[in-house]
C-alpha cells in the first residue's frame, strides 16, 4: 500500500474519515474528498491531500481520480432512519456520485474500486419480524429495498458489477450493517440508533432528566457493527477475490430495548422509556448472515456490542460535556 495513491471519498464523514486516518497512520499517500468544508470533517486527516468537491456534479470526479491507484467510495447523502425516510430524493441523487466516479476511474486506469453499500438493499418482505432469519447476500433479490436510499445502493452495486464485467475493473462491494463507534454523528438528525441512544442516556445522566424517547415500540431488532470491524472487513474485501456484494456486519442480534439496557448499564443509570410509535423505525428485524464472509476470508466482525457501545458512550459523553451539557455537580 505504501507505494500507492489512495482516494477516499466521503472522507469528511464517519467511515470514510476513519479509513483515511488509518491509511495515513500507515504512511499511505491519501487524497481525501468531501463536499463539506474542512472545518466540519470528522477527522483531522493531517498529511492528506484534502479536496472539497461535490462529486454529484459532472467534471469533479476526473479531478478526484487523477493519478490515483485505488478508490474507496464512501460518499453518499445519508443518515439514520429519520433522515432516510424523509429525504428519499436526496438519497437517490447519490447515484450520480458513483456513476461519475466509476466512469472517470475507468478512464483514468484506476486499479481497484470499492463501493460502500448497505443492508438497506435487502428485500423488505424478509424483514417483517423481529425474530428475523439472518439475511444472506441472495436475499437482495427479487428487489424490494428500502425506498430511496436502498434503491440508490442497489443501483450502485449493479453499476459496479457491469463495470467489472464490461471493462474488467476490479470492483468490490460491502453491504454494511449499522456501523457505529466514536467520531460518528450523534446529534442533528442524521445519527443512527447506537449513537442516538448513547446521546440520550448521556444527556439524561448529565441533566438529571431521566426520560428519553425511543422510536417505535423497542422490540424491533438489528445487528450493529463496530467501526474497527467495519474497517478490517473493508480492507480484507478489497484484497480478496470476492467479486459479488458481501455482508460486512455483526451477527449479534439485539432489540432496541436491549440496546437501551446495555447503554444504561454502561452509564450506571436507569431511564424512563417513552415510546414514540409514530416515529420512523424502519423494518422490524435485520441481521447479517456471515456464512459467505467466513468462507471467503475466514473472518467476521467480532467486537461484542457491549464493548463497542462502551467506547461510543464514553466518547459521546465527553462531547456533550465539551458542548456544555449538564451541571458540574452531575459530571460524574
Q: Are residues 311 and 235 in the same domain?
A: no
Alpha-carbon distance of 214 to 193, in angstroms, equals 9
147 and 209, same domain (yes or no): no
Q: Facing residues of 226 across strands? A: 180
Tell me what pLDDT residue 104 has: 97
What is the CATH classification number for the domain harbouring 277?
A: 3.90.25.10
- Catalytic residue selected from 72, 122, 149, 176: 149
One domain for residues 104 and 197:
no
| pLDDT at residue 56 tops 50 | yes
> Same structural domain for residues 132 and 269?
no
| pLDDT grade for 131, boundaries at 50, 70 and 90 | very high
The answer as to whether 298 is a domain residue is no
Average predicted confidence (pLDDT) for the chain:
95
| pLDDT beyond 80 at 332 | no
Most distant CA atoms of the chain, gap in Å = 64
- pLDDT tens, residue by residue, 252-284: 999 999 999 999 999 999 999 999 999 988 999
Same domain for 229 and 256, yes or no, is: no
Could you tell me if 166 and 259 lie in one domain?
no
Say yes or no: 69 and 100 in one domain: yes
Give the model confidence (pLDDT) of 175-190 as tens digits.
999 999 999 999 998 9
Is 176 domain-assigned? yes
Q: State the CB neighbour count (10 A cutoff) for residue 264.
A: 18
Q: What is the pLDDT of residue 328?
A: 46
Q: Let me know whether 268 and 309 are in one domain.
A: yes
If asked whether residues 201 and 236 sit together in one domain, one would say: no
Does one domain contain both 282 and 242?
no
Domain-located, residue 73: yes
Query: Based on the domain organization, do 104 and 140 belong to the same domain?
Result: yes
pLDDT in tens, 100-121: 999 999 999 999 999 999 999 9
Which residues are within 8 A (CB) of 305 and not within 5 positions of it... i.e. 6 or more apart? 224, 226, 250, 252, 254, 259, 262
Answer for the pair 267, 312: CB distance below 8 angstroms, yes or no: no
149 noted as active-site residue: yes
- Cell 467501526, residue located: 227
Domain that holds residue 107: 5-180+225-248
pTM of the complete model beyond 0.85: yes
The pLDDT value given to residue 4: 92
Task: Note whether residue 294 is domain-resident.
Answer: no
Say yes or no: 54 and 170 in one domain.
yes
pLDDT at 9: 98
Position 230 in a domain: yes
Cell of 300: 467476521
Query: Is 295 part of any domain?
Result: no
Q: Which residues of 301-321 are buried (b: 16+ CB within 10 A; e: fewer)?
A: bebebeebbbbbbebbbebbe
Please tell me the predicted confidence (pLDDT) of residue 80.
84
At residue 327 the predicted structure's pLDDT band, cuts being 50, 70 and 90, is low
| pLDDT tens digit sequence for 13-47 | 999 999 999 999 999 999 999 999 999 999 999 99
Q: Is residue 199 part of a domain?
A: yes
Instruction: Indicate which CATH number applies to the domain containing 106.
Output: 3.40.50.720
Let me know if residue 187 belongs to a domain: no
**% of the chain surpassing 90 pLDDT:** 92
d(CA 182, CA 195): 9
Count of structural domains within the chain: 2
Amino acid at each position: 500500500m505504501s507505494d500507492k495513491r489512495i482516494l477516499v471519498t466521503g472522507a469528511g464523514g464517519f467511515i470514510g474519515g476513519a479509513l483515511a486516518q488509518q491509511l495515513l497512520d500507515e504512511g499511505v499517500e491519501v487524497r481525501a474528498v468531501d463536499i463539506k468544508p474542512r472545518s466540519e470533517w470528522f477527522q483531522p486527516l493531517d498529511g492528506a491531500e484534502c479536496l472539497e468537491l461535490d462529486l454529484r456534479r459532472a467534471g469533479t470526479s476526473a479531478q478526484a481520480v487523477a493519478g490515483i491507484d485505488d478508490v474507496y467510495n464512501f460518499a453518499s447523502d445519508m443518515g439514520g432512519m429519520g433522515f432516510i425516510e424523509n429525504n428519499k430524493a436526496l438519497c437517490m441523487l447519490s447515484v450520480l456520485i458513483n456513476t461519475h466516479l466509476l466512469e472517470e476511474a475507468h478512464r483514468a486506469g484506476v486499479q481497484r474500486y470499492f463501493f460502500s453499500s448497505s443492508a438497506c438493499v435487502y428485500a423488505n418482505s424478509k424483514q417483517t419480524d423481529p425474530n428475523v432469519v439472518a439475511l444472506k447476500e441472495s436475499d437482495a433479490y427479487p428487489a424490494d429495498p428500502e425506498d430511496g436510499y436502498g434503491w440508490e445502493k442497489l443501483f450502485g452495486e449493479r453499476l459496479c458489477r457491469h463495470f467489472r464485467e464490461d471493462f474488467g475493473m476490479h470492483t468490490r462491494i460491502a453491504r454494511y450493517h449499522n456501523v457505529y463507534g466514536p467520531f460518528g454523528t450523534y446529534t442533528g438528525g442524521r445519527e443512527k440508533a447506537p449513537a442516538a441512544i448513547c446521546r440520550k442516556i448521556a444527556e439524561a445522566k448529565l441533566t438529571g432528566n431521566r426520560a428519553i424517547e425511543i422510536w417505535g415500540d423497542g422490540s424491533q431488532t438489528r445487528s450493529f457493527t463496530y467501526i474497527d470491524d467495519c474497517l478490517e472487513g473493508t480492507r480484507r474485501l478489497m484484497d480478496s477475490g470476492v467479486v459479488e456484494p458481501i455482508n460486512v456486519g455483526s451477527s449479534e442480534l439485539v432489540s432496541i430495548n436491549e440496546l437501551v439496557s446495555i447503554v444504561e448499564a454502561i452509564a450506571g443509570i436507569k431511564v424512563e422509556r417513552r415510546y414514540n410509535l409514530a416515529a420512523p423505525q424502519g423494518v422490524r428485524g435485520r441481521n447479517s448472515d456471515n456464512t459467505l464472509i467466513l468462507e471467503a476470508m475466514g473472518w467476521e466482525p467480532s467486537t461484542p456490542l457491549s464493548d463497542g457501545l462502551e467506547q461510543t458512550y464514553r466518547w459521546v459523553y465527553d462531547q456533550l460535556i465539551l458542548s456544555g451539557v449538564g451541571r458540574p455537580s452531575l459530571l460524574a
